[in-house]
Chain A
Amino acid sequence: MTAVTADHELAPHGRGGWGLLFRAGWIRAAWMSCLFGAFGFGLVVVFRWWGGWQPLFDMQVITLVSMLVALPLGFLAGIGCFDYFPTRPEDHSGHGARSWRDYFRVNTDHKVIGVQYLTTTIFFFFAGGLLALLLRAELARPGMQFFDTQTYNGLFSVHASLMIFLFVIPAFAGLANFVVPLMLGAGDMAFPRLNALSFWLLPIAGIMMLSSFVVPGGAFACGWTGYVPLCSTHEPLGAVFFNQGVQWAGASSIMTALNFLVTIITMRAPGMTFWRMPLLVWANFTTSLLVVVATPFIAGSQFFSMFDHVMHTSFFDPTKGGYPLGYQHIFWFYSHPAVYIMMLPGFGIMSEVISVFSRKPVFGYRLMALSLMAIVVLGFSVWAHHMFVSGMASWLRVPMMITTLLIAVPTGIKVFSWLATMWEGKLRFNTPMLFALGFLSMFVIGGLSGVMLGSVPIDIHMSDTYFIVAHIHYVLFGGSVFTIFAGIYYWFPKMTGRMYNERLGKLHFWLTFVGFNLTFFPMHILGTEGMPRRVADYAPKFADLNMFISLASFGLGASALVFLYNMITSWRAGEPAPSNPWRGMTLEWQVSSPPPIFNFDEIPQVVGSPYGYGMPGAQHAILAPARTAEPEEAGVT
């Protein structure tokens, strides 16, 4: 087996000349993008000429068909996402990375794809963060200083869209992509090519959302919720960039989730029953269930909104009999479960990190897994709590309040179980554990303000104010982003084969933790006092707090640079990582850092719990002896 892992034929290099034009890669992507774009353009013009529609060159339709649909398809085909034919069995030519160049092509190795996901999402994290700092610059003082309201509304809309669709959701998918097959004892994901395709959809979605700033009329400026009829009939062309961007990102999510489900159900190593799966795998299993069921709903809502905008249909246009609240119901039927899509994988990371750094088994393992399932089921029955003041049928409010409040129960079980996991443990405060503790404390605050918002009368006062902004950042930044940081630091040695700089990691944590609280805690007060969200200007009485928040936010922004510096320098020249720096029991730590190209020389045999800390002789799995351990051995024939 080792012989096979050592050297696989890559796509033939160095065939210059015309061959370069037709080989999968960036050159082919460039000309195929142009070709497909031109085809889309021609299609629109021919049909409009044939139907006798004026004007022949309708820029709105041309942009949609040519730039937002055809061109990305051309790019995907050119870069090699559809090179399925001729199909050769056991063809591993697109698998694995030997140089940095292999990260810039279609790669079927889940480890490479995981890293591609993470680097891409971190790029968009910085882009979205920069937009947030521009917002805070404008909000530092009342009145308008730097932007007109169109640009300002565009800034917060694109900020939220990037952070949600291009950072939090796919960053979790990236981490899971790297870790889940390793944890399962599998060689790769079930569908490696589908996996590659779902990654390459992401940059398309991100660039689409960012580029809406240069579209005539400006970026989409109706918030990431895209409420109609504002977003469908009162917005410039940029709104379509949001509608379509969400489609590409959503398609990516659905494909990845299907892939995870099939992988987790069918590719567990022998002996790994569902009750022996690490909680990270459980978390991604439940998240994938949510994605597969819920994401088609946002796709529908965005298609209908876009049809109203471009094709003058009337799904949501009340002047022609449409129903604006219909949009909100469909939108939140996805976007509330999406909150758990952005949180459950983080719960999984927390269970791994807290258990390993406390040197204790996860407390109440089965209840932890069951509460994930409970959140999935309940998560589909609470969407209308985003609509308590929307004017929907008023009887719907109390039942939705009850289900919303009930979700606090499984969430509470998880928090208390993590606390009990730490109890009497042997705690070590490496950076992942610091972020885990930061997560626990911040997520509790965000969860409790969530309980407040779950109560209908309180929500009536608070909704659409800065209290909501504070709450969402406590759960999505203090919650999800902290767990993403914990996960990145935790698996950094496994991904890169090098250790990160611990001192810089701790500095990053403390700057982030302090900056985060100084930035977002005062927003609770602003909101209850009466400052609405999504405003470019505000009453003078809020000036002092806003100045304070803006200054704190610049500090928070600066803390991200420490993270970036640490990642880049450690990846280039960090200390070589041992295979198991944290003494973890799950399978990914039993192979070299970075893992061999096909993960395991022989499929491991799982014999026990993944969290047998403190039990003498406890084993999670038995691996083929000796061969797997050290990095230099991995590549040897």
Chain B
Amino acid sequence: MRRGQIVSLVGIGVLAGGIATAVAVLLPWLPRPAAREASRIDFTIWFVIVICIVIFAIVAAAILYSVVRFRARPDDHEDGPPIHGHTGLEITWTLIPMLLVTAIAIVSAIVLARDGAQGKNVLRVNVTAQQFAWSFSYPDAKGLTTGSLMLPKGRSVLLRFTSKDVIHSFWVPEFGQKQDTVPGMHPTLHITPDRLGTFPVICTELCGLGHALMRAQAVVITPAAFAKWLKSQSAAISSPNAAVSGAAVFKNNACGACHTLAAAGASGKVGPDLDKLAAYAKQARQPLESFIRESIVSPNAYIQPGYPKNVMPQTFGKSLSKPQLDSLVKYLAVSGTKG
């Protein structure tokens, strides 16, 4: 290669690399991390991106230079020089990529190990996934169950997953970490939230018709606020009749993830608005209480216009006990007509 060729090649390469770098840096494509694991993952991404941009720039430079410089004139019917190979060059572009991928593998393995390493005083949360809702329970707080994932900032959290039906996947983009929930297995996932805020919990494994709607919230609060929240919630569930109180059944089954109900502070938008139950029952021409019962036990019997069929789980008829179902129906009949 002549010197002029090298200069032009480097010039084009720097230009291509510059454009690629600008795209990577200027576009807002990574969510702002809210967990230590996400920050480490971001570091890995940038580490690999730099290598990728260099390789991309080399290839782009070679293609662009060849296209411009080696274009055949229309009247030129000669062949190019018969170069069959170059052992040194071939060894070079075998060894250098090998070194680069080795570096990537080492960095990735270290990050993976550190992301999985639990800190002291781990908070355990059991996550239950079902078509198409999440629920979160805290075994250290007498099995307190909620529809939103409340987490204290700065503490190591170990999520343990259970799936009631098919495979789902737990992902909070700001936490970086992701884990499939497989029926019959109980995989775990480690997260250390380090930023206050409310973040979406997204199901990323296709789980059926309501897959796009299977969302919940992860809320990171200060350790003090978390302790206070835990205390107030535990007090509520340890009161007599709590296990069968309609409000507790509503909460423990994560109804609020999909439904709005002012009395429970729920604002889900997936299913029908339960504050309008009286109007719905009128539309369906059924008495209110039996309408509510039927809608829980066999949701497809009547579908409120504007909402999809087969999205509401059809398992509540089996999973709720008779007293639980009765109190839930009563609770909804009362609070749903106030709104």
Contact = CB atoms under 8 A, between A and B. Distances in A.
Interface residues of A, number: 91
Contact of A221 (B66, B109, B209): B209
Contacts of A318: 182-185
A565 B192 CA distance: 57
Interface in B1-41: 27-31, 38, 40-41
Contacts of B208: 221, 230, 234
B224 interface: no
A539 B105 CA distance: 34
A360 B59 contact: no
A525 interface: yes
A437 B202 CA distance: 39
B109 A401 contact: yes
Contacts of B89: 420
Nearest to B270: A537
Contacts of A463: 178, 204
Contacts of B180: 389-391
A349 B212 CA distance: 40
Contact of B209 (A153, A402, A417, A530): A153
B154 interface: no
B41 A451 contact: no
A612 B223 CA distance: 74
Contact of B167 (A230, A397, A437, A536): A230
B43 to A, nearest CB: 9
B186 to A, nearest CB: 9
Interface in A83-112: none
A79 interface: no
A619 B322 CA distance: 87
A363 B104 contact: no
Q: Give the interface residue-count category, chain B.
A: 35 or more
A323 B184 contact: yes
Contacts of A230: 166-167, 206-208
A458 B44 contact: yes
A413 B86 CA distance: 12
A424 B212 contact: no
A149 B85 CA distance: 55
Interface stretch (B49-57, B259-267, B281-289): B49-57
Interface in B77-131: 78-86, 89-90, 93-94, 97-98, 101-102, 104-105, 107-109, 111-112, 115-116, 131
A441 B71 CA distance: 18
A227 B207 CA distance: 9
A398 B165 contact: no
Given A149-B308, A363-B84, A412-B97, A464 B178 contact: yes
A452 B70 contact: no
B210 A358 contact: no
Contacts of B167: 227, 229-230, 324
B62 interface: yes
A455 interface: yes
B169 A464 contact: yes
Given A389-B180, A464-B169, A464-B204, A451 B101 contact: yes
A440 interface: yes
Contact of B109 (A398, A452, A533): A398
B41 A409 contact: no
A394 B101 CA distance: 21
A361 B90 CA distance: 15
A614 B28 CA distance: 50
A394 B52 CA distance: 27
B202 A530 contact: yes
Contacts of A539: 200
Contacts of A39: none
B152 interface: no
B70 A427 contact: yes
Interface string A199-224: 00000000000000000000001110
B63 A457 contact: no
A323 B182 CA distance: 9
Nearest to B72: A426
B48 A452 contact: yes
B205 interface: yes
A43 interface: no
A444 interface: yes
Contacts of A223: 206
A41 B152 CA distance: 62
Nearest to B187: A391
A518 interface: no
A452 B42 CA distance: 12
A524 interface: yes
A536 B55 CA distance: 36
Contacts of B207: 230
A532 B180 CA distance: 13
B327 interface: no
Contact of B55 (A448, A529, A538): A448
B52 A465 contact: no
Contacts of B200: 530, 539
Given A221-B209, A426-B72, A532-B202, 17 more contacts: A148-B209, A150-B209, A153-B206, A230-B206, A234-B131, A324-B185, A325-B185, A360-B80, A361-B82, A391-B179, A412-B93, A412-B97, A425-B80, A427-B66, A456-B109, A460-B177, A461-B177
Which 6 pairs, one residue from A and one from B, show the smallest C-beta to C-beta distance?
A318-B184, A530-B173, A391-B187, A535-B212, A464-B204, A614-B79
17 contacts: A229-B167, A230-B208, A319-B183, A319-B184, A360-B80, A365-B84, A391-B161, A401-B105, A409-B94, A420-B89, A422-B62, A437-B67, A454-B104, A457-B40, A458-B48, A529-B30, A615-B82
